[in-house]
Amino acid sequence: MHWIDWLVIGVYFIGLIGVVFWSSKQQKTSEDYFLAGRNIGWFAVGASLFASNIGSEHIVGLAGQGTSSGMAMAHWELHAWVMIMLAWIFVPFYYRSGVYTMPEFLERRFNSTTRWILSIVSLIAYVVTKVSVTVYAGAMVFQVLLPDISLFGIGPFWLGAVSTVVLTGLYTVFGGLRAVVYTDTAQALILLVGSFFITYFGLKELGGWGELQEVCRQNADRFALWRPNSDPDFPWLGILIASPVIGIWYWCTDQYIIQRTLAAKNLTNARRGAIWGGFLKVWPVMIFLVPGLIGYALHQKGLISIPMKTGENGTSIINGDQVFPTMVATLLPVGLRGLVVGGLLAALMSSLSSLFNSCASLFTIDIYKKMRPMASEAMLVRVGRVATGVVVGLGLLWIPIMPLIAKGGLYQYLQSVQGYLAPPLTAVFLLGLFSKRINANGAVAGLVIGFFLGIAKLTVQGMAGAGKFAEGSTLKAIGDYNFLYASGWLLAISVVIIVVVSLFTKKPSEEQIVGLTYATATEEQKRENRASWNKWDVIGSIVVLGLVLAMYLYFSFWLK
């Protein structure tokens, strides 16, 4: 790192501090702190959706997956079509209900028990996925770019992990969601620009797109978008089952994402923000996944040297999680290196800041306020800040456990864990919105049993990864069972439980579900919904879906 690189990063942080200082002056109520006063425009909503999603785990992890498994993970990065579902199907119900959180919405649709379950499940999910994965990815970059730095015997990995968490926690604690959303808007631009330069300089060094295709064709089965069902890691049927399940949970029901749309000025801005976010979401394949392919090709041609690691069968393989930092360190000129590292820090901090604010909202509104309904606005904000710190600490403690659960790379770890947590939540929200017969008993049973089975699979998988089970044993087979198919089975089991229990118990009254399902939407809701969009929203949605289709068509045949 040259002094000019540090200067670029320093300017970025000065701007960040300015935004946080301004935001802290705007907070007077819990609505200001948790939902930015519900006064955010569509451009900032969409940019925040994108920046919150694209964390350092995407930049580091997706590049690593590109190197190790080619385009297999592109299916998860083409979820822009799910964001169109968010804009047109889910946002109208969420926004009109005036809720702060998704568990609060479930309480209105079902009962308080579902609210408690979703709050606890979400907080656990944030610890074992978003906090630990994001911090781990950022720490990997520090380890490559600053290998010699240490403090009191602590190496660059943990120094990077702890320092970025503390800095991000401070600006989230003091700035609230307003600081998160407005810094996310700037960070989205830095992310796009920084990653574009990695792709550009990588292709320039390699010799162009045609050269990349030629290198990947030599191992086409490994780098193809679609794999045969015999593939042990990414069978095409498993991807078709699991990817939408995870996508609908993440983009349409997760507090971490939905909170941005709830902060919009009105329903029009909420929907438009989701569509704009969908447009931005189309591009990660090109600027985050493709650099991993480029890194592999450069390594094969001897133009860069990526660190190696020992694979499961004892052979030496490329350490995918080191690909992006290695490309930054070796390919980029002075100044641009600082910009890209700033982009990585932006990704890390935007994801963490969004996560911290969502955790604070979940714990404060859905747990603490339920136990202390008379708590003052100032107390709610203080409790939210304390909750943020606790979640961060638990996430740091989980980092050493992550490698035991998935040996396929950081991003695959993320998707496998989400694949076990998402199915019951996806089932409850979809059935709850589209069927007025589904009741609280069915929802509670589906959530509890589905979540228990998912955690059981995750636990057995972690123990199998640590070598706790003998080869050929039943538990070893369960632990090694493909996470894509496991996600599909969990969804099917959850749906059956929810439907059967609901049918054998009393149906909800019309008064209880009025305005909370599509079948019971009021005339006023329908008029408000129709008045909130025009032809430009439709055109924008068609453009996003067209881009997704174009990406699928191209990469389905790009190695033929």
Cβ atoms 254, 100 nearer than 8 A: no
**Phi and psi at residue 151, in whole multiples of 5°?**
-150, 120
Cβ atoms 443, 432 nearer than 8 A: yes
Give the distance between the most distant pair of CA atoms in the chain: 69
Cβ atoms 238, 491 nearer than 8 A: no
Q: Which residues contact 15 (CB under 8 A, 6 or more apart)?
A: 186
Q: Which residues of the chain have pLDDT under 50?
A: 34, 36-37, 406
Instruction: Kindly state the DSSP code that residue 454 receives in the 8-state scheme.
Output: H
380 vs 372: CA distance, rounded Å: 10
Q: Which helix (H) or strand (E) holds 321?
A: none
CA separation, residue 335 to residues 7, 9, 415 (Å) = 8, 9, 34
Beta bridge partners of 316: 310
Average pLDDT of the chain? 83
CATH 1.20.1730.10 fits 3-399+522-557, yes or no: yes
Instruction: Kindly state the DSSP code that residue 470 receives in the 8-state scheme.
Output: -
510 vs 436: CA distance, rounded Å: 9
Cβ atoms 544, 275 nearer than 8 A: yes
pLDDT tens for each residue of 263-310: 888 899 999 999 999 999 998 888 888 988 999 899 888 888 888 877
Q: Is the dihedral of CA 62, 325, 209, 297 positive or negative?
A: negative
Cβ atoms 160, 146 nearer than 8 A: yes
pLDDT-above-90 percentage for the chain: 31
Burial of residue 510 (CB within 10 Å: 0-12, 13-18, 19+) is exposed
The residue ranges of every structural domain in the chain are 3-399+522-557
Q: Which helix (H) or strand (E) holds 548?
A: helix 535-557
Q: What is the pTM of this model?
A: 0.84
pLDDT tens for each residue of 500-513: 999 999 999 888 88
346 vs 13: CA distance, rounded Å: 10
Choose among 183, 177, 140: nearest CA to 161: 140
242 vs 240: CA distance, rounded Å: 6
Place of tokens 């939905």: 258
pLDDT tens for each residue of 406-435: 455 666 777 788 899 899 999 999 999 999
Q: Which residues contact 294 (CB under 8 A, 6 or more apart)?
A: 66, 199, 202, 203, 206, 212, 327
Show the tokens assigned to 166. 């503390």
Cβ atoms 97, 525 nearer than 8 A: no
CA angle, 44 as apex, 41 and 45 as ends, to 5°? 80
| pLDDT value of residue 36 | 47
Burial of residue 4 (CB within 10 Å: 0-12, 13-18, 19+) is middle
Cβ atoms 417, 398 nearer than 8 A: no
Residue 177: half-sphere exposure toward Cβ, Cα within 13 Å: 35
Beta bridge partners of 310: 316
218 vs 199: CA distance, rounded Å: 21
Show the tokens assigned to 109. 């649709």
Q: Residue 197's Cα: distance from chain center in Å?
A: 23
Instruction: Kindly state the DSSP code that residue 151 receives in the 8-state scheme.
Output: B
| pLDDT value of residue 547 | 97
Cβ atoms 392, 165 nearer than 8 A: yes
pLDDT tens for each residue of 127-177: 777 777 777 766 776 776 667 777 777 777 777 777 777 777 666 666 555
The H-assigned helical ranges of 25-131 are 30-35, 42-53, 56-69, 74-77, 80-85, 91-97, 102-109, 112-125
Cβ atoms 4, 335 nearer than 8 A: yes
162 vs 178: CA distance, rounded Å: 24
Place of tokens 């292709």: 203
Q: Residue 440's Cα: distance from chain center in Å?
A: 28
State the amino acid at position 12 in one-letter form. Answer: Y
| pLDDT value of residue 497 | 97
Residue 155: half-sphere exposure toward Cβ, Cα within 13 Å: 8
